[in-house]
Amino acid sequence: MTSSTAAAIAARHRQTQDKLARVEKALGQLRRERGRLTVRAVAERAGVSATFLYENTQARALVQNATTDHRNRHDHQAQQEHDRIEASWRERALNAEAELTRTQKEVFAQRQRIGELMGQLRDFDQMVPGESVQHLTSENTTLKHRVHQLTQEHRKLQERLEGARSNLRFAEKRTANLEAQLLERDQP
């Protein structure tokens, strides 16, 4: 091998090492800027050709490792965000169900109390003078109003529960769509 051939090979090797250093620097910059890690973006940033990135095994490995790392980090962040949203909706649905259960118990207790008072009212109507009956009648009216209020609260809580369940179904459907998109993107 002649000295000019050896010098050309050494120059070519230095050029390749310089390009690899620029590729590493470009990958670092794109990571810090949270830019898109694509072959074209790395090639433009590093000032090398896309062909170099595909043909040089070291460059190709650098880009593949960086894109895999970027994709894994992005997938992890997306999963964390999904888990946070899912927990929020689940908590709301559980709270609505607990409140609905409490309201149903309260309505049941009020209805039982009304039944007892109605029975007492009938008993007093037969035994007590008219003034006491009037007092019991007004108390009965107040209790009926309270039952009406509790029934409305029950209906509102039912609607909130249905809304929370609907939102949860939407979030689950959206999650499934995002997971499908991630799987499609990962496939060649």
- DSSP state letters, 160-176: HHHHHHHHHHHHHHHHH
Segment 57-72 shows an average pLDDT of: 84
Is residue 125 scored above 70 in pLDDT?
no
In whole angstroms, what is the distance from residue 10 CA to residue 8 CA?
5
Decide if pLDDT at 149 tops 90: yes
Q: What is the C-alpha to C-alpha distance for residues 70 and 179, in angstroms, rounded to an integer? A: 17
Separation between Cα atoms, residue 166 and residue 33, nearest integer Å: 38
Ramachandran assignment for 47, one of left (phi > 0), alpha (psi -120 to 50 degrees), beta (any other): left
Residues 169-179 have a mean pLDDT of 90
Mean pLDDT of 174-183: 87
Reported confidence tier of residue 124, pLDDT bands at 50, 70, 90: low
Choose between 186 and 153: higher pLDDT.
153
- Kindly report which listed range (66-80, 137-151, 169-183) carries the lowest average pLDDT score: 66-80
DSSP string, 43-98: HHHHT--HHHHHH-HHHHHHHHHHHHHHHHHHHHHHHHHHHHHHHHHHHHHHHHHH
Indicate the range of 54-58, 146-150, 154-158 predicted with least confidence.
Answer: 54-58
**pLDDT reading at 98 higher than 70:** yes
**What is the rounded average pLDDT for all residues in the chain?**
83
Confidence of residue 131 (pLDDT cuts 50, 70, 90): low
